[in-house]
Amino acid sequence: MYYWRNRIFKELQHMNNALPLDGVSVVELAAIGPVPFTGRMLHQLGAEVTVVCAPRHRDLGIPMSDDPLESGKHRVVIDLKTAAGRDALGTLVRESDVLIEGFRPGTLERLELAPAYLHSVQPALVIGRCAGWAATGARASSAGHDINFLALAGILGAIGPKECPSPPINLLGDFGGGGMHLALGVVAALLQAKRDGKGAVVQTSIFGASVSLTAHLHGMLDSGLWIDDRQSNLLDGGAPFYRCYRTSDDHWLAIGAIEPKFFAELVSELDVEVDAARQYDRSYWPTLTQILSQRIAARTRDEWDTVFAQGDACATPVLTWKEARSHRDGAVAFEHNAPKPAITFHRE
């Protein structure tokens, strides 16, 4: 009796601790950018991910042991350009729930691995496809990288100082845009497939997904709340209460005191005399910027970090990658120098 009671307790405990995608099998056709990021997200949600690599697979040169995007995934080498390779993928797909790929539009079809074929092998398969450009656009078959997609989306032109747009690494287009949209689409299609047993093709692109992220900014633009001129607005470094300031040791302090109550606390902690009632007065911004610049430049970044460690002034040190791993407030998001899963689940 004790044995069975203990076993049932352990099984119930496992059920309560199980991740949402436990039991889901994902095939990831090796790529860079959004696809491995999506694979990582699905794995962190509990899915088992198998990466299919070409015999001469080219990656970014990061050792597997150091690449968080590859952590926990299985890898197999299959030449999809051969009949034997296509058969091998078919065998893998037959036992899988999801396939994700980031080839240019039409590549799977040329390899004789079109969705119709894959669904003939596994009718409930969710096929996630993330191209660079919109699949039906004039550039659909053209090469491109994050900087190109953001440029054509109007995003790049809004980021950075007036002198020159600044590429925001590849976090925005590849991951926040394409990767996140692909992951959401795959999970939604999985939910539907579990209900009716029918698979689906989930199609997105880095370009289209990045444009989707700008919906609120287009609303502000059409409402007259955004000027189509870089570093002139509330959220692009134009406002003196939402930008970075140089400290005495040539580091930086980030200020995000948008709301009046936060701005009031900021100027109180800085001990400066400003006309707080004119916080949103654009004609006052140059004066306010000068006042804040001079005051913040009087102390080091770490000294200001101590001043603003508590409270609601919305002032934080600008850290390097390595500094973020060990900072008293930032380290909680890392484990063994790699980012922790950003989503956790708990069930009673």
**Domain limits, the chain:** 2-212, 242-339
Distance of alpha carbon 70 from alpha carbon 60, whole angstroms: 12
- Paired tokens of 259: 């709301």
The matching CATH number, chosen from 3.30.1490.20, 3.40.50.10540, 3.40.50.10490, 3.40.50.261, for 2-212 is 3.40.50.10540
User: Would you call 174 a catalytic residue per the annotation?
Assistant: yes
Backbone angles phi, psi at 137, to 5 degrees: -85, 170
CA–centroid distance for 339 within its chain: 12
Using CA atoms, how far residue 15 sits from 9, 154, 200, 309, 322, in Å, is: 10, 46, 28, 40, 37
Fold of 242-339: formyl-coa transferase, domain 3 (3.30.1540)
**Per-residue buried b or exposed e for 192-220, using 16+ beta carbons within 10 Å of the residue's own CB:** ebeeeeebbbbbbbbbbbbbebbeebeeb
Q: Residue 40, class by beta-carbon neighbours within 10 Å (0-12 exposed, 13-18 middle, 19+ buried)?
A: buried
Predicted TM-score of the model (pTM): 0.88
Rg of the chain taking only CA atoms, in angstroms: 25
Nearest CA to 340 among 55, 93, 48, 71? 71
Of 59, 67, 145, 327, the catalytic one is 145
Which amino acid is located at 61 in the chain? Answer: G
Distance of alpha carbon 115 from alpha carbon 130, whole angstroms: 14
Of 174, 181, 251, 305, the catalytic one is 174
Distance of alpha carbon 137 from alpha carbon 109, whole angstroms: 18
Question: What is residue 232's predicted lDDT score, i.e. its pLDDT?
Answer: 95
Which amino acid is located at 155 in the chain? Answer: I
**Residue 29 and residue 99 in contact, taking contact as beta carbons nearer than 8 Å:** yes
Distance of alpha carbon 306 from alpha carbon 287, whole angstroms: 26
User: Would you call 145 a catalytic residue per the annotation?
Assistant: yes
Decide whether 2-212 matches 242-339 in CATH topology: no
pLDDT (tens, 9 = 90+) of the chain, 348 residues, equals 434 444 443 444 455 578 999 999 999 999 999 999 999 999 999 999 999 999 986 665 666 667 888 889 999 999 999 999 999 999 999 999 999 999 999 999 999 999 999 999 999 999 999 999 998 888 988 999 999 999 999 999 999 999 999 999 989 999 999 999 999 999 999 999 999 999 999 999 999 999 999 999 999 999 999 999 999 999 999 999 999 999 999 999 999 999 999 999 999 999 999 999 999 999 999 999 999 999 999 999 999 999 999 999 999 999 999 999 999 998 899 988 889 988 988 887
Instruction: Point out which residues pair with 338 in neighbouring strands.
Output: 335
